[in-house]
Each structure stands twice: as C-alpha cells, then as structure tokens.
Amino acid sequence: MDDHNGRIDAEFAGLPLRNLADAALDAAKSGGASHADFRIERIRGQQVSLGDGKLQSLSDADDSGLAVRVIVDGTWGFASAVDLTPEAARDAAREAVEVAKVAAAMNTERIDLAPEPAHGDVTWVSAYEIDPFAVSPKEKADLLSAWSTGLLAHPVVSHVDASLLQVKECKFYTDGATTATQQRVRLHPEITAIAVTDSGFDDMRTLAPPVGRGWEYLTGTAWDFPAELSQLPELLAEKLKAPSIEAGRYDLVIDPSNLWLTIHESIGHATELDRALGYEAAYAGTSFATIDKLNKLQYGSPVMHITGDRTAEHGLSTVGYDDEGVAGQSWDLISGGVLVGYQLDRRMALLQGFGRSNGCAFADSPGHMPLQRMANVSLRPADGGPDTAGLLAGVEDGIYILGDKSWSIDMQRYNFQFTGQRFFRIRNGKLAGQVKDVAYQATTTDFWNSMEAVGGPQTYVLGGAFNCGKGQPGQVAPVSHGAPAALFRQVRILNTAEEGQ
C-alpha cells in the first residue's frame, strides 16, 4: 500500500469494490455488451451557513451508489443503483443492457471509443493536508461566526452571510483494463458583508476562490482570510458612496478574481467538442468555435495562450484518471490567439480523428452517465510580464475590475455580460477610487482580440467554481481557471442602474 492508498477514505476503501465490479462486468458481457465500465462513488458534502454570526444551517449528506455503462450493438445503455451488493451490481448491468435495447430504436450513429493505454490498478489522491470532515462542525461554525462578528462591528455592515461548502469525492472506476481508485477534497468559503441604508443596499464578497485543498485553506495556507476580511468594510463603505459609472467604452484591467469566469464562459465552454458538434444544442447550447475553424480561428490577440489541463495542483477539475479511464493530461486549446484544440472524451476523440481522448469525461454522481466536462482551462501568464500596477500604468482612462458576480452568455458563446465585486476608476495609470453599477458586455472574439497585455506569473491566481452546469439530466462539475491580470482596450461598459430604469 502506497501513501495514496493510505489516504483513501477507510470506509470507501473497505467496500467490496472489485467483487461488485466483477459481478457487473460479467453480467454486462453476458448480456451482449461489447464495452462495459463500472463505477462506485461516494460523494460526501457538508454545508455550514451562518446569518449575522448565528448558525443558520449545518447539514451533512452523501450520494453513494454504483453505475454501469455499456455499449450494446453500437448503442449506449446506462443504469445505476444505490445498494452496494453483487445482486444490485448485476441487476444494474442487466438494466443497462435493456436500456440500450430500448434506445436502439432512436440511434443512428454507432458508438465506438478511442483507445486508451491500460493503466492497471492505480490510486490517486488530490493535494490537501487536512481532511475537512475530520474537523468538528463546531470549529467551522465558530470560525465563521468570529469572522462574521468582526465584520458586524463596523458601522457600515448591517448583515453578514457566511458559508462553507466541503466535498470529499471517492470514486472507483474499472473497465477491465484500468482500475482507478481516487479521492478528491475541495472547499468553498464565502463571506459577504451587506450594507443597508435608507436609500437602498449593497454588498461586497470575499475574493477567495474555491480550491482543491483541505481545512488548511481556512487557517492560513494559500489565502490570508483575516487580511481580506479586515479590508472588506472600508471597501464596502467606499462602494456605497461611489459615483455611478457613465456608460461607454473603457480600457479594462481585469483581475484574475473576475477574469476566471469570463474564461470559463467564453473559452471553457466554447472549446468543448460536444458543444461544437451539437450534442448540447437543445440545452447548454453549441459553440461558434466549430471544428472547421480548428487551427484557423483568430480567437484572440497574439498574447493569448490557453491551456486545458486536468493536472494542476489544487485544481477543481484535476484528477488522476477521468471517468473513462483516461489519464489526466495538459494540452493547448489556443496558441498565439489561434484555436488549436478541444476538450474531448473517448467517443468524440475517435469520431473526429483526434486519436486519443485528453481525459475530460466526468459524471457528477453514480446516478449520471459521464459527459465531456470542463478541464481546468487557464490563461497563461507572460514570462517576465508586468504586475498589476504595471498593467494599470498603461491605462489613461479605464476601469479595474475585481471579483465575480453576475454572468450570462448566449447559447453559441458570442455575446456575454459580466459584473463584478469591485470597480476602480483608472486615471493616468493610477487607481482613482471606486465606481459602481458597472457591467461589461462584448462578443467573445472581439473581447479576446482586444487583450493587449497579460500580467506576469506574480499576478496569476487559480479561480473557479463548484457548480458548472451542463447536460440533461443536469450535472454539476467543479472546475478551476487560472489567469493573470490582463489589459483589454475599449470594451463596452453598461450602467446597470440605467439598464433597469
């Protein structure tokens, strides 16, 4: 047993994983399946939320079960079950075969999978120090309460919302050639200070991103929460008094705490091959970046280099092996501003001649069939590039944007609109106080082609979300996006107060 094996949750590791897999795979093959894969998952989540420092909700839930996916005569079949017994595994395999037979009436495109090397029996555990489920809920609530109370002491703060989501995901996968036992841990803390005045209200939230780390994230590793919280009330007070922005076109310096979401929506989803091929056409939508534009589309300016990866340490989409047994990889999606790659699963990789999948299959629960889901899609910083002050210095009249808030993009990923947590005017290369009521709106390729400069590695931060939605039935996936600060020229800014009149 290596170190990884030692860290897999003992309760999960103690399940008869291989016996159940044998029962399911044997039944699938007996039923006529040309391919069968099998998962057992236990996803444990705990949510703590406080209102004004008082405990509002504390709940602990899990989602566990097994899943069988088969190909019978070129058609998918999928079934899952909640009981972790050989009988349930066998029945699920038989049901998956039956589903494939019912579904065959509607299938006109044979399912085949790109080959993947056999990786044998492997174990992988994400990078974290302290299992959050080993920390008492009271300790968590007390910490959030102390932070809330500190904020409420400031006269501008009327209310404080505080929450902490924690997930431990244990997953066993086998297709006979690769058997992977994996465990991931992730945390998402959020603290929001709210000011209510006689004329209205406003709020400001922490910029701390969700991360693939353990409890150590809240106690000093990788983020200085006390320092950020100490600044929040004054920033909120300034925002309340800030002038409303005049709509128009402005140069923007965008902090990674905001830019990650723009990357997610306008690049991450647009370079998913299932969207480009139309599989999401009725729901999440398609992509303007269709496959005929591969190696041709000038997506952005020459300083734009985008990678997809499932390997970044502490990344929310990082895995050892995906839900089709494909090893985690890193690859280029956009190079020098040109579209050069997509996110793939095994079926699409073969169908479109990519040879091998780059490992983006993921199912969010044992009850769902894997889909192509997003890798960590990140904007590369410039080696030796400027810090944020250096980027600001290049702006005569503009806006500096931090933190994500509202987001929306169309079903082909052209037209988007984003707001943020904090907006500062830039005048003659320097910050000149906050403004409010700001939204930026653009067409994806116009926006990324207006990117004049990206910051250096010292500005790089891995942002992200727990809840990227896609697919029917709906699935959520955690994903990170790294970005440096970046400079954009002449982007359309709306005044949201005027938009609402």
Partner 1 sequence: MTAQEPATPQETVERALSFAKPGGECVVIADESSTANLRWAGNTLTTNGVASTRSLTVIAVDRRADGTAGVGVVSRSGLRPDQVEDVVREAEKAAAQSSPAEDAEALVSAGASDVMDEWGEAPGKTEIGVFRDFATDLGETLRAAEGAGRKLYGFAEHGVTSTFLGTSAGVRRRYDQPAGRLELNAKSGDLSRSAWAGAATRDFTDVDVAALDASLTERLSWQERRVELPAGRYETILPPTATSDLMIYLYWSAGARDAHEGRTVFARPGGGTRVGERLSQLPVSLFSDPDYPGLQCAPFTIAHASGRDSSVFDNGLASPRASWITDGALTALYSSRYSAGLAGLPVAPEIDNLIMSGGPDATASLESMIASTSRGLLLTCLWYIREVDPQTLLLTGLTRDGVYLVENGEVTGAVNNFRFNESPVGLLSRLAEVGAAEQTLPREWGDYFTRAAMPPVRVDGFNMSSVSQAS
Residues 138-177 that bind partner 1 (CB under 8 A): 138, 141-142, 145, 158-159
Task: Establish if 190 lies at the interface with partner 1 (CB under 8 A).
Answer: no
Piece in contact with partner 1 (CB under 8 A), picked from 101-109, 328-336, 351-359, 391-399: 101-109
Q: Show contacts with partner 1 in window 366-385 (CB under 8 A).
A: 366-369, 371
Strands in 222-282 per DSSP E: 248-254
Q: Is 279 in the site for partner 1 (CB under 8 A)?
A: yes
- Does residue 282 belong to the site contacting partner 1 (CB under 8 A)? yes
Find the length of the chain.
501
Told to check if 285 binds partner 1 by CB under 8 A, we report yes
- The single residue among 13, 16, 26, 55 that binds partner 1, judged by CB under 8 A, is 55
Closer of 299 and 460 to partner 1 (Cβ): 299
Shortest CB 240 distance to partner 1, Å: 12
CA distance 481 to 483: 7
Distances (CA, A) of 189 to 43, 163, 239, 276, 343: 19, 6, 23, 34, 29
Q: Cα(392)–Cα(428) distance, rounded to whole angstroms?
A: 9
Do the Cβ atoms of 289 and 272 come closer than 8 Å?
no
Q: How far is the CB of 76 from partner 1 (least distance, A)?
A: 6
Residue 63 engages partner 1 in binding (rule: CB under 8 A) = yes
Chain residues 71-90 in contact with partner 1, contact rule CB under 8 A: 75-85
Show the tokens assigned to 432.
């000149």
Shortest Å, Cβ 376 to partner 1: 23
Residues 434-463 touching partner 1, rule: CB under 8 A, are 437, 439, 441, 443
CA gap 165, 448 in Å, rounded: 33
Q: Is 246 in the site for partner 1 (CB under 8 A)?
A: no
Instruction: Check residue 414 for interaction with partner 1 (CB under 8 A).
Output: yes
CB-based contacts of 196, cutoff 8 Å, min separation 6: 158, 159
Site stretch for partner 1 (CB under 8 A), options 226-234, 319-327, 337-345, 464-472: 464-472
Which pairing describes strands 248-254 and 397-409: parallel, antiparallel, or unpaired?
A: parallel
- Contact range with partner 1 by CB under 8 A, out of 126-134, 191-199, 326-334, 479-487: 191-199
Distance in Å, CB of 157 to partner 1, minimum: 12
Q: Torsion angle, CA of 465/467/470/474, rounded to 10 degrees?
A: 170
What's the rounded Cα separation, in Å, for the pair 126 and 368?
22
Q: How far is C-alpha 447 from the geometric centre of its chain's CA atoms?
A: 22
